Amino acid sequence: MSRKKSFGLDLTTVVKAGPGSRMQVPKTFAGMGSSRVALITDKGLIEAGVVDKVAEAFAESDVSIAGTFDGVRQDNDTRDINEIAGWYKDIGADGILGVGGGSVMDAAKSAKALLGMGATDILELFGGRTIVSYARPKAKPLGIPHISTPTTSGTGAEVSQGSAILHAETRKKLIFFHQHSNSDFAFLDPELTVSLPRHLTAEPAFDSLVHCFEGFFTPLHNSFADALALRAARLILDNLPIAVEDPGNLDARGELQAASTMSVTASVSGRGAAPIHNFADAVGPHYGISHGLSNAVYAPIVLKNFPSHYLKRIRTFAQGLGMTTESKSDEELLAEVKTEVVNLMQICGIQSKFDINVDAKEYAHLVKEVKEDPAGMAYPLPDDVIETCLKESLNVNA
């Protein structure tokens, strides 16, 4: 009798979803004992008026916004975390509200951990490592009421317990995991996403789609991850074309938010952060390319060039997407799934590769960065796969 591998599901964030759900944020903070909230966001969301939509909920509440930090970078880095923690103390806040995409929410989570663990620099908590994990019972409650209101549909950072952080000096991606860093409540309000430009609707959704691939095809796949990944992938394929063509469609946008939350949970449950994120995490920050766009470009490239990772389970995945699988080989089904991704990219106006010229020295550096990326350390990629995928995604003169 074969021994079943252990698996589990850790979703400790309470999720509230629906148009206008953001209006429940102040009374939720009050229920957690918070009266002075630190709002963390970025400048773009302030300029777009999205933050005002959240702040209006506090107009007639005894809970106030003690201050707004709008300095989170596109790829939040260690400076953001340390600055937020110091600012939080200065304004005398007693709760954290993250309003934004993955970088904002990851910055908020990491700053909460920094404050709750009594450190002064986030790098202290890494101890020289690129991945650090604080799990229960070692991980203790951080003691700071925390709510997330995502404004994009992709990372799922509103419920995940891990944060991606860029090292300000080395520019390497760090992964910080703490089992109490996730928000207490997440409000998925599609009204906060309707003003997004086309590319910010589309690109984050591909990060979510990649979470589906990685949660389903991981060697540590399990029933929880399978169910969430398959449903989330179907939601993305069905609703992203609607959302980019009809930005005001709240039903489609709400489904994309649900898919984002589900897909990251699938990825974490399946402990599957590879192999597409290996490339996105390494190449994206190096060239200042958004995380969603990086994942979009690498998804079909990796599907094509690393078939051994996908073929064993591709039939079940294709069936979950509603594809006809009878009389088709696994190779044919993998090609069809890849075509679905490419078609979705074309609908969204996303290019198939980056128009970036890379010389031999820089190419060698990128190969090294992909190999060392913390997202894929558990499942190292073959050298030939790394090299082929990089050459297909960039103009390599090596």
- pLDDT digits over 201-226, tens only? 999 999 999 999 999 998 888 899 99
Distance CA 200, CA 271 (A): 27
The pLDDT confidence band at residue 181, using thresholds 50, 70 and 90, is very high
Q: Which of 265, 252, 127 is nearest to 186 (CA)?
A: 265
Distance CA 370, CA 377 (A): 10
* Residue 79 vs residues 42, 107, 167, 177, 181: alpha-carbon distances, Å: 14, 10, 8, 18, 18
Question: What does the pLDDT read at residue 136?
Answer: 87
117-125 mean pLDDT: 95
Query: Quick check: helix, strand or coil at residue 8?
Result: coil
Question: What percent of the chain shows pLDDT beyond 70?
Answer: 96
pLDDT digits (tens, 9 = 90+) for 59-70: 989 999 999 999
DSSP-derived secondary structure for 168-222: TTT--EEEEEETT-S-SEEEE-GGGTTT--HHHHHHHHHHHHHHHHHHHHSTT--
pTM above 0.85, yes or no: yes
Distance CA 112, CA 144 (A): 7
Query: Which residue matches tokens 């190969």?
Result: 367
pLDDT digits (tens, 9 = 90+) for 261-274: 999 999 887 566 57
The pLDDT confidence band at residue 312, using thresholds 50, 70 and 90, is very high
Among the listed ranges 3-17, 18-32, 306-320, which one has the minimum average pLDDT value?
3-17
Distance CA 84, CA 55 (A): 19
The pLDDT confidence band at residue 315, using thresholds 50, 70 and 90, is very high
The pLDDT confidence band at residue 373, using thresholds 50, 70 and 90, is confident
Residue 3 has pLDDT above 60, yes or no: no
pLDDT digits (tens, 9 = 90+) for 17-65: 999 999 999 999 999 999 999 999 999 999 999 999 999 999 989 999 9
158-175 mean pLDDT: 90
Amino acid at 137: P
Amino acid at 134: Y
Question: What does the pLDDT read at residue 138?
Answer: 86
Question: What does the pLDDT read at residue 2?
Answer: 47
